[in-house]
Structures are given as structure tokens and as C-alpha cells.
Amino acid sequence: MREVAIIGIGQTPIGEHWNDSLRQLATRALHEAVSDSGIDRIPEALYIANMCAPRLSNQAHLGALIADHSGWRGIEAATIEAACASGGMAVQAAVRAIASGMVEVVAVCGVEKMTDDTTSQITSALATAADADYEGAHGASFVALNALIMRRYMHQYNVPHRAFGAFSINAHKNAANNQNAMFRKPISQQIYDRAPMIADPINLYDSSPICDGSAALILAPLELAKTLNRPIIRVRASASATDSIGLADRKDILSLAAISQSAQRAYQQAGLQTSDINLFEVHDAFSIMAAASLEACGFAKPGTAPFHAQDGEFALDGKLPISTMGGLKGRGHPVGATGVYEIADLITQMRGMAGANQIRDAVIGMAQNIGGTGATVVTHILERVA
């Protein structure tokens, strides 16, 4: 099995891109990633991560569309979809394509354009991540399902709502220094406490935004990466797991088995444990998901993550920095693209290019991408080897 490296990253700012089409956003991120990689050849394969284009842009078949628009007509291309975990699964497909020895250079592009349609259409499109027959058909929106998890968590572990504010405050603080982030203003505990309710107990600042954006990565064999005059980022683990997509089909809605299973598989692949991880790009689509992910990955005991967040353990100078460029909450959450943004942020830190947000000793980084209410979970562990 060939070792794999990520040699290039590119991203558009996240926001409401009313003047740019889906293909334009994707091509911009891809060209930036190729330029960043320093290679002078085009990728042989392209994996697109996207969830909403068939519904919100009337466009499937993004692989061929974006390959062509990027000037790469002829190369292999396909879309990988696993709801909000599409980005992570596309990276996994790219890792395997290179590990197989069948292709050399692969591009991954997460792209999402959500703001062109009505709120009602966007809410319906997001609900396709849940069980259409047993959840969606009964009117359960995606935020409502996460609210069920958060309410149960608060009850079971006796955690007050305001404790979750620490995740949001940290994310917005980090986003303020990221020029690609959607939100650039820090928030206070008071702003969090007074935010309007979206789906009780999830308020506006517990939720990531509807937005547009594209992020891209270039992957290549580790041996090729060594020939480029750049920091080498090696893929130590790429592991995924699934759970039922319907919450009611789980024995315990707080167990979130796929989160822990995906993380455990990643630790095993990498031969590492939680204490080896220097930073963690967490899937904070909702603040409850940040807490759940940290706990199920073994970074905090059940019911304690919000309190550790209040103690500053997940800040840039904390024990385990998370959402270091703003996370889904502050940077933004263009759903199918998010898993790719997470890894781009991780690499920005691991290359020492994070500017005012730069953390110390970013050698081993982990990113976790969650689809649905924890139904598909992908965990990547990267290492800077030079």
C-alpha cells in the first residue's frame, strides 16, 4: 500500500456568493490548490463532494461539469455524497485511489451553493440527510433532530444551556482572524444567551450558517510529495463508520456509535492515541455536535465537554485547540464542502500558515466530518513529516 500525502490546498471565502456559480466556485478552489501544490501537471482524477446541487441548483453530474470547467476535460471524475460527511468521504476515496497505485495525482473539491433558493427549499434539502420516510415525512427538520439530542444531553448530564456558549464564543473568536470565514466578529456570552431560539434548545449561536463555498485538496503519493519544496503532510489515517440515519433506530440517542467507531478505527490505523493529537477540527455544525464528538472521540468524559470548553481547554492556547480557523460555526458550513474545509484548515495550521491563529507544535492533526445526526462519520489524522 502506497503512502499518501496532501500536497495542495485551496479555498474560496465562505459566504453568500450571489455572483458566482457552483462551477466557478469549484474551479477557483481547485486552481488555487493546484497552484499551492507546486506541481505542473493536471490531476488524473477529481472527486467532488456535494450534497445539495441536485435539488438547489438542478445540477447533478458535477464531476464531469467541474473537470471540464477547470480545464481538465477528459480526466476521471465523480461525486461522492454522504450528506454533510461528503467532504470526508471524498478525501477517503482519493486516498484509496492513490494507495491502489492506479492513479498518481487526485484532486478533491468540496463545493456547495445553498443561498440561491428559498429557506423552505434549503431546509427541505438539508432534511434529505435524515430518514425521509421516518423523520422527514413527519416534518422533522435537521435542526429539530439535533435539538432532540441536545435536550437529552442537557437532561442526562445536567448541563445548563449557557455552558454550550463556550464552543460558539471560541469558534467566532477564531473566525475573526480567518479571511475565508463567513463571520468575522467575536461574540460574548451575553450575546449567546440572548440569541433567538431556532429549535429549542438550539439557538442562533448554537447553529452553523447556510452558505456557499468551495475548498479543494490535491493528493499524491508520499514519494512525489518529497520531491516538492514544501512541508510534507502525510495521511496517517482515513477511517469512516456508519450508524442508523434515523435517531429512533438507535438504542440511545446519545451513544453516537459511528463517531467513536470512526475515531477508534483512525487511532488504530495511525497507531496513535488521543494524547498524540495536537489539534482537532471538530464538526461543530451545532454546539451539541462539538460536545458529542469530543466525548465520543475520547477527548472528554461524557457530559463534560462544555465545561472543559468553558475552562479554555479547546482554545488556541488550550490543551486541544479545536475549530482553529472558526469551525463550522464561525468559518461556515457549506455542507458537502465542510469536510474538505476542515482538512484545509488543519493543513494551514500544520504548515504554520495560520497567522494570528497559529497554534504551537501542530504536528499531528485530526479532522472529523459528520453526516446526518452522526450516521456517517469520517476521521482523518494527518502528520507533518518535514
CA dist 64 and 68 (Å) reads 6
Among 10, 13, 110, 136, binds its own copies (CB under 8 A): 136
Active site residue 84: yes
Q: Which of 3, 16, 68, 276 binds its own copies (CB under 8 A)?
A: 68
Q: Binding to its own copies by residue 254, rule CB under 8 A?
A: no
Helices 62-69 and 22-37, interaxial angle, to 10°?
Answer: 60
Nearest to 94 by CA among 6, 223, 35: 6
Gap between the Cα atoms of 158 and 155, Å rounded: 5
- Sole window of 91-99, 155-163, 178-186, 360-368 interacting with its own copies (rule: CB under 8 A): 91-99
CB 203 within 8 A of CB 167: no
Cα-to-chain-centroid distance, residue 276: 21
Given the residues 84, 109, 211, 297, the one annotated as active site = 84
Q: Does 59 bind its own copies (CB under 8 A)?
A: yes
By CB under 8 A, residue 217 contacts its own copies? no
Binding window for its own copies (CB under 8 A); candidates: 52-60, 157-165, 348-356, 360-368? 52-60
Instruction: Pick the binder of its own copies from 131, 295, 342, 383 (CB under 8 A).
Output: 131
Dist. CA 280–CA 67, nearest whole Å: 31
Strand partners for 199: 202
- Backbone phi, then psi, for 168, in 5-degree steps? -70, -40
Residues 174 and 170: their CA atoms lie apart, in Å, by 6
Question: 377 has which bridge partners?
Answer: 241, 370
Q: Which residues in 290-349 contact its own copies (CB under 8 A)?
A: none
- Is 333 in the active site? yes
Q: How far apart are CB 161 and its own copies at their closest, in Å?
A: 29
Asked if residue 55 binds its own copies (CB under 8 A), the reply is yes
7, 67, 210, 215: which one contacts its own copies (CB under 8 A)?
Answer: 67
Q: Which of 161, 172, 308, 333 is catalytic?
A: 333
How many binding residues for its own copies (CB under 8 A)?
66
Using the contact rule CB under 8 A, the part of the chain among 35-43, 75-83, 190-198, 308-316 near its own copies is 75-83
- The full DSSP string for 301-326 is -TTTHHHHHHTTTTSTTSSS-BSTT-
Q: What pairing do the DSSP bridges indicate for beta strands 45-49 and 106-113? A: parallel
Q: Which is nearer to its own copies, 113 or 308 (CB)?
A: 113
Question: Do the Cβ atoms of 342 and 289 come closer than 8 Å?
Answer: no
Binding of residue 353 to its own copies (CB under 8 A): no
Cell of 49: 463532494
Interface ranges with its own copies (CB under 8 A): 1-2, 21, 23, 51, 54-55, 57-65, 67-68, 73-83, 85-86, 89, 92-93, 95-97, 99-102, 124-125, 127-133, 136, 238, 240-245, 249, 257-258, 261, 371-372, 375-376
Query: Which amino acids are annotated catalytic?
Result: 84, 333
